[in-house]
Amino acid sequence: MQTLRSSALIPWAQTDPNLKAQATLALDLSLPVGALDSLSAPNAGPGRAARPLLVPHTQLKAKSMATPEGRAMLVHSIAHIELNAIDLALDVVWRFAGMPEAFYTDWVRIAQEEAKHYSLLRQHLVSLGFDYGDFPAHNTLWDMAERTKDDILARIGIVPRTMEARGLDASPGVKNKLVSVGDHRAGEILDIILEEEIGHVAAGNRWYRYLCKERGLEPVHTYAELIAQYDAPKLRPPFNMAARRLAGFEEAELAAMG
């Protein structure tokens, strides 16, 4: 019998990015979550298309925002992050066993919102005369998923609460860049993404604290240990403190950011 957890593997393994988004949006949250044991993935990683070309992030070069290509490159980079975020959310659903049912339904909903974000950005990219895959991209988000695949505490502690929370910080500046050159539709899409990403990071905070409590760990100190152990990116200002507070970061955590 198909379950929510097993059905998450279908879009996760899909190689076509647009079909991946569609299949994610079609997931049925009314399905039973399924046995809370480990599931086997059909391959070593999520389905990926041949394009975009993946390169180290240091090799990605921006172009002037005054040009359509420069704007498209920035929109493409955000679409790539959102596509990776679909896989990250689905990966959590099938990979990690033994969590409460609400955990799995939370992350399927998050995957569906990421699919919506990707679709909005891809549609906008097409309106600019380009498509997803037309520019190189980096694999930093999925690299961190690989590093944390054996420990749910590390995955939840680092990916939503660090990697995705950085998006909350970056969003105002990215929106200003696009709107300042007249791309108001991109600004509208980024407003939608920011509002929903606050909820995604909030889910990360909620389940991170749940796991810390289960293991008898102090959250702030444990987070610092995870950052060091997994060599996570160091957080740098400016920080979107308003968004981080809405996402459930506590004052002690914000103070520890420096």
Structure tokens at 246: 């809405």
Is the residue at 229 inside a domain? yes
pLDDT at residue 258, as a whole number = 64
Provide the CATH number for the domain around residue 230.
1.20.1260.10
Is the residue at 1 inside a domain? no
Burial 218-255 (b: 16+ CB within 10 A, else e): ebeebbeebbeebebeeeeeebbeebbebbbbeeeeee
Is the residue at 5 inside a domain? no
pLDDT at residue 37, as a whole number = 66
Peptide bond into 238 cis (omega under 30): yes
Is the residue at 190 inside a domain? yes
Is the residue at 3 inside a domain? no
pLDDT at residue 2, as a whole number = 87
What is the span of the domain harbouring residue 26? Answer: 10-32+46-256
Is the residue at 141 inside a domain? yes
Is the residue at 202 inside a domain? yes
pLDDT at residue 256, as a whole number = 86
pLDDT at residue 36, as a whole number = 65
Domain count within the chain = 1
Q: From first to last of its 258 residues, what are the pLDDT tens digits of the chain? A: 789 999 999 999 999 999 999 999 999 999 999 876 667 776 678 999 999 999 988 888 888 888 999 999 999 999 999 999 999 999 999 999 899 999 999 999 999 999 999 999 999 999 999 999 999 999 888 999 999 999 999 999 999 999 999 999 999 999 999 999 999 999 999 999 999 999 999 999 999 999 999 999 999 999 999 999 999 988 889 999 999 999 999 999 999 886
Is the residue at 143 inside a domain? yes
Note whether 133 and 52 are within 8 A (CB). yes
